[in-house]
Amino acid sequence: MNSIPSPQLISLHGGHSGDFCQHADNSLEEIVRAYIDRGFGWVGITEHAPPPSDGFLYPDEKDAGLTSDLLQQRFHQYMATCRLLQKKYAAQIDILVGFETEGYTGASPFTIELVHTYRPDFIVGSIHHVNDVNFDYDAAFYRQAAATAGGVDALYLQYFDAQYELITTLRPPVIGHFDLVRIYDGAYQRRLLKPDIEKRIDRNLHAIKRFGLFLDLNVRAIQKGASEPYVSRPILLKALSLGIPVVPGDDAHSVAEVGRHVKDGVRLLGELGFSVRWQELVGQLKRLG
């Protein structure tokens, strides 16, 4: 009897590099070659979108003396480099050229401009801010964002409301780390079950289903000490019941991180009953993009 072949490795939310991200290491070409060397069939290169103004620079970007204009110039070079690498390594790996959105004031119209200008293969829709305050940079920023929102419960509510607006406005083919808002919340498992929060989660999942979008199973959370990836298991089961495709993303920020925990993510998806027929799913994603 023939054995069923293992699914080819894939990361749709990955490929940050030291060339184009302050908190990453190694060149983008080194990152791509690492994916090839580690047996990946597909990879999404999804660098952060540049900010439309200096008010939304990250602390490490400010420390490096960068400005929004400089980051926009760097993004132009990023897209050009991605296209060159896409052609150079086409025989060895299917590279999907994309970028990751933000969710602060003015981000959506600016993202639309970037899409029209650069025509990426796809985008990853992510929220890292609530009330224009970044919450995932470190625990102090998280506390500040929660205080601005009116508490941690309110932070969750506003996060999922911002995510819903992103989903319905941009319809990004991939929704990045769906429940990232739990990043510094030790009580997230109970909090996700609170009626007002769960109602918003269900609303957002139904919108994702309605528009035919994908969820990113972001396994970098495990590397950073979390007990499970984004998306957490109860939300994954909801997504499964709705028939929402879920695809692993390593969110790699260096050669050392390429592929880390992706096999764990593939195993989890297979055990839960998700499709791991990546070729079929990537074809669907390309049509969305």
d(CA 255, CA 25): 7
- Looking up tokens 């490096």 gives 64
Q: Is the pTM of this model over 0.85?
A: yes
pLDDT in tens, 168-216: 999 999 999 999 999 999 999 999 999 999 999 999 999 999 999 999 9
pLDDT in tens, 89-124: 999 999 999 999 998 999 999 999 999 999 999 999
Reply yes or no on whether the pLDDT at 6 is more than 90: no
Reply yes or no on whether the pLDDT at 139 is more than 90: yes
Structure tokens at 45: 């290169």
With a CB cutoff of 8 Å and minimum separation 6, the contacts of 210 are none
Give the residue-averaged pLDDT of 24-38: 95
d(CA 155, CA 204): 16
Reply yes or no on whether the pLDDT at 3 is more than 50: no
d(CA 45, CA 56): 22
Q: What are the residue ranges of helices labelled H in 10-67?
A: 28-37, 59-63
Give the residue-averaged pLDDT of 229-237: 95
Please list the residues that pair with 48 across neighbouring strands.
Answer: 100
**Of the ranges 25-34, 72-81, 259-268, which one carries the lowest mean pLDDT score?**
259-268
Structure letter (DSSP) for residue 80: H
Reply yes or no on whether the pLDDT at 144 is more than 70: yes
Give the residue-averaged pLDDT of 151-161: 98
How many DSSP H helices and E strands does the chain contain?
12, 9
Structure letter (DSSP) for residue 230: B
Q: Which of these, 163, 214, 224, 156, lies nearest to 189 by C-alpha position?
A: 156
Q: What is the pLDDT of residue 126?
A: 95
Structure tokens at 93: 């790996």
CA angle centred on 170, ends 212 and 28, rounded to 5°: 90
Give percent above pLDDT 90 in the chain.
Answer: 79
pLDDT category at 1 given cuts 50, 70, 90 is very low
Q: What is the pLDDT of residue 186?
A: 93
Give the residue-averaged pLDDT of 237-245: 96
Average pLDDT, the chain: 91
With a CB cutoff of 8 Å and minimum separation 6, the contacts of 199 are none
pLDDT in tens, 53-81: 999 998 888 999 999 999 999 999 999 99
Check: CB of residue 239 under 8 Å from CB of residue 246: yes
Q: When comparing pLDDT for 287 and 258, which is higher?
A: 258
pLDDT category at 288 given cuts 50, 70, 90 is low
Please list the residues that pair with 46 across neighbouring strands.
Answer: 98
- Looking up tokens 């985008």 gives 123
CB atoms within 10 A of CB 223: 16
pLDDT category at 289 given cuts 50, 70, 90 is low
| Three-state secondary structure call for residue 83 | helix
